Chain A
Amino acid sequence: MIHGYAGKILRVDLTTGMVKTEKLDLDLALHTIGGRGMNSRRLYLELKKDVDPLSPESLLILGVGPLTGTYLTASAYFTFTAKSPLTGILGDSSAGGHFGPELKQAGYDQVIITGRSERPCYLLITQEKIEVRDASSLWGKDIWETSSAIRKMLRDPSVQISAIGPAGEHLVKYATIACNNSRMCGRTGMGCVMGSKNLKAIAVKGTGAVTLADTLKFLDLCKEVDRKIISHPEFEKRRNLGTTMLMTDLNRIGILPTRHFQQGVFEHVDEVSGETLAKRFKVKNKSCFNCNVHCSRYYITQEVEGEGPEFETLCSYSSRLGVSNLNFTLKMNAYLNRMGMDSVSSAEAIGWAIECIEKGLLGKGDFDGLDLRWGNTKAIEKLLTMITERQGIGDAFAEGTRSLAQRFGKGTEEYAFHVKGLDMICGDPRGIKAYGLTYAIASRGGDHLRAEPFFELTQRYEEAEKRFGTREAANRLSEKGKAALVDYSEKLALLIDCLTMCKNIGLCMDILDFETASELLIAGTGLQFTPERIDRGLKDQIDTDRKMNIGFGMDPSWDTLPRRFIREPLKEGPTRGCLINIDKMVKEYYQIKGWNKKGVPKK
């Protein structure tokens, strides 16, 4: 009998409406674990490299891990993977909430979707049946309305739903997929791929249960994990503020993206901080499945209410655009959640436009007369609705910042802050060097979650010496030991993505290590997930992702950062004067990886 895993994968062809259930290949499972790893491998094995990500032949893969939906705390995530329409390389995005565990309880480890439905449809997955259903009445509805409508139609208030909003329908290249209304698979445009398939939503009802190979051992391990979480020095802070705590934290060290990375300190941070959000708008904690941190929040303002925002959205729609009005930020959070659009990518495009006007490279006339200035919330809001609907200049914005800047040219490309087409997240790499390296090498582009080297902010110097051979690895401003740190965290981040667990807990709180993960996997599945086997699998996966990206047309010379971070030092604050020597760091990283000088895996 199979444990941990559900033991089945589902294939759906939306062109023909054919559905097929297959047995999970246990060799593949042992090698790639699950979640992001298994999704990525599937894409590598089954997708034609030169396929248009928005064509019917493109694959959209949904996956959960072997321990998702078990007794393990925060084993709540799920991952969507596809060739990204935004970047043209590997795309994937994960979210928490309650959808992932439900899919496992419905009996599936992975769902592979191909084809394109002639009419809008949604997919219903239960133990008893798989159905592709008509969604004509849902097309045009936002994510919240869609979830409510499906629950009403099915007369089931507890069915779990992942859906796209109007942004996904209009093929905005950075459209998202959301579950539980506000838990976003935010990056790389997975919602755009879903929209191209005319797939409005996936509704899952899981009435089964997840079993374990060695229940008592698993329980012991979970209890140990819980003890570590609860006794963590940041536990209370994370429970009260979640990731919004980073507004104040990053500002304190001078790396809070302000006015499109022109500054690292925001003079109005107190008006938009996590603390202020908690004090003025939060009404209670919210949580993903089986988590004891409850780091999310429900807020109510005069105009809107909803769950969130996480740090990235909070920062993107405040300091990054020079906005000091938290009411506005929360309104945009609710809007983006309803429409299904990535906050980081949309805010980067808008920030680019504002800076280009400020620098005199472009003018108001280039943007349909919109008065784009730092903090001008009216113009920002108007532009955002134009992007969602692809109206006027919004159509060009919907293609992503890289493409937008290429269209205008005139040196504006220099201010498009992306890596490999994926807009950079909120965190100035000039003051967090391991993060900088992560953005440069991440297999999905300018993003931190591929490694989340939070360790460099901990100042745990002795631990740094032990783990990475130099105390400097725990010094955020140093470049020493960072390639080793990123190599280590990259594997751990992948492992956590394969388990589809929460990275805030697993990585940032330093709860999960390879040994514990191995024990959990063995007790959970009964399969021989030794630390050596896990390590081999993870290394191979990182190399394979690299090869896949090169196959997609990625040039390894793209492993770098926008010019600003290499050449323009920050002028004020605790990161004043700092730059990042990214090329040197990347070379060191290749060496550790055992790749050749051009960054190509040897075999």
Chain B
Amino acid sequence: MISVDISKCSGCKRCEANCSFFRTGKTGRSLSRIKVMKVEEIGVDFPVVCQLCKERFCTRCPNGAIQIGVLGQIIVSPTLCNACGLCERSCPIGAIELYQEIPYVCDLCGGDPQCIKECNLGALLFEPEKQGAVTIKKWNKRNKGLSPDEKRLKFILNQATQLRKEWILLRRT
């Protein structure tokens, strides 16, 4: 899985730019499978990407278009997918999102994730042995009607609590 060290992220979105560029030759957030959330009010930046979670909410696909690969990554079949959007609605942390009827989700670039390569702050770490290690069940509450972006925000606000405590401890005591 790709793990995130939130304390190091500067919010440059280089991971986003790399993801979309190496997969499509274009740059645009919609085409990226990793999406950086910037919470300016509290200075927090956080790339949200598929955590290869224990629960695998997205695999409930009614068309069987979503499979799990050998690295634990999500693989979407373009032929079976009919863009119903259930996977997008199912993911509690907004790590899968449809754009022009195609679900965009991290597939670890087949084992060589491009986003990691350009993160020179060490905020992203590829841990190939880690699969199903993270549970995201607790984010699955009160999500109804939230957009993927809103789900991502909710997810990171919670994740940022610890970091904010550390910052305050460091600078205000």
Contacts and interface: CB of A to CB of B under 8 A. Distances in A.
A428 to B, nearest CB: 32
A294 B149 contact: no
A294 B119 CA distance: 11
Interface stretch (A278-286, A357-365, A557-565): A278-286
A301 interface: yes
Interface stretch (A17-25, A151-159, A459-467): A151-159
Contact of A294 (B12, B18, B152, B167): B12
A283 B150 contact: no
A402 to B, nearest CB: 34
Given A157-B149, A158-B37, A292-B118, A209 B10 contact: no
A55 interface: no
Contact of A283 (B39, B99, B170): B170
The bracket for how many chain B residues form the interface is 35 or more
A98 interface: yes
Most buried by A among B10, B20, B120, B168: B10
Interface stretch (A7-15, A210-218, A485-493): A210-218
Given A147-B40, A148-B41, A290-B14, A283 B29 contact: no
A157 B37 contact: yes
A300 B168 contact: yes
Given A147-B40, A209-B20, A283-B171, A292 B27 contact: no
B14 A206 contact: no
Contacts of A210: 26-28
Interface string B73-86: 00000000000000
Given A98-B38, A302-B172, A290 B149 contact: no
A290 B10 contact: no
A266 interface: no
A289 interface: yes
B10 A294 contact: yes
A300 B8 CA distance: 16
A217 to B, nearest CB: 12
Interface in B10-45: 10-14, 17-18, 20-21, 24-31, 35, 37-41, 43, 45
A180 to B, nearest CB: 6
A298 B8 CA distance: 11
B25 A211 contact: yes
Contacts, number: 119
A95 B145 CA distance: 35
B10 A286 contact: yes
B53 to A, nearest CB: 22
Contacts of B28: 69, 105, 206-210
B7 interface: yes
Given A158-B37, A181-B40, A209-B20, A300 B118 contact: no
Contact of B27 (A209, A287, A296, A299): A209
Contacts of B63: none
B142 to A, nearest CB: 15
A63 B18 CA distance: 24
A307 interface: yes
B34 to A, nearest CB: 13
A131 interface: no
Interface string A299-335: 1111001110000000000000000000000000000
Contact of B10 (A144, A181, A208, A287): A287
A312 to B, nearest CB: 21
A291 B118 CA distance: 10
Given A208-B28, A210-B27, A71 B41 contact: no
Interface centre among B14, B24, B39, B43 (most CB of A within 10 A): B43
A291 B12 contact: yes
Contact of B147 (A101, A155, A209): A155
Most chain A CB within 10 A, of B28, B41, B170, is at B28
Interface in B142-173: 147, 149-150, 152-153, 167-168, 170-172
Interface in A258-290: 280-281, 283-290
A284 B8 contact: yes
Contacts of B12: 287-292, 294
B40 A180 contact: yes
- Residue of B8, B13, B45 ringed by the most chain A CB atoms within 10 A: B13
A489 B27 CA distance: 30
A230 B118 CA distance: 12
> B39, B41, B45, B99 — which one has the most chain A CB atoms within 10 A of its CB?
B41
Nearest to B17: A290
Contacts of A401: none
A148 B11 CA distance: 17
Contact of A291 (B14, B25, B170): B14
A70 interface: yes
Contacts of B31: 209
Contacts of A180: 38, 40
A144 B41 CA distance: 7
Contacts of B8: 284
Nearest to A288: B12
27 contacts: A69-B27, A69-B28, A71-B18, A144-B40, A155-B150, A156-B147, A156-B149, A157-B39, A157-B150, A158-B35, A180-B40, A182-B40, A207-B28, A207-B29, A208-B30, A209-B20, A212-B26, A215-B25, A283-B170, A286-B45, A287-B11, A290-B17, A291-B14, A294-B10, A298-B43, A300-B170, A307-B40
Given A71-B18, A158-B29, A210-B26, 16 more contacts: A69-B28, A71-B21, A105-B27, A105-B29, A148-B41, A210-B27, A230-B120, A285-B121, A286-B11, A286-B43, A287-B10, A287-B11, A292-B120, A298-B43, A300-B172, A307-B43
- Give the 5 A-B CB pairs with smallest separation, nearest first: A209-B28, A287-B12, A209-B26, A287-B10, A298-B43
Interface of A: 69-71, 98, 101, 105, 144, 147-148, 155-158, 180-182, 206-212, 215, 219, 230, 280-281, 283-292, 294, 296, 298-302, 305-307
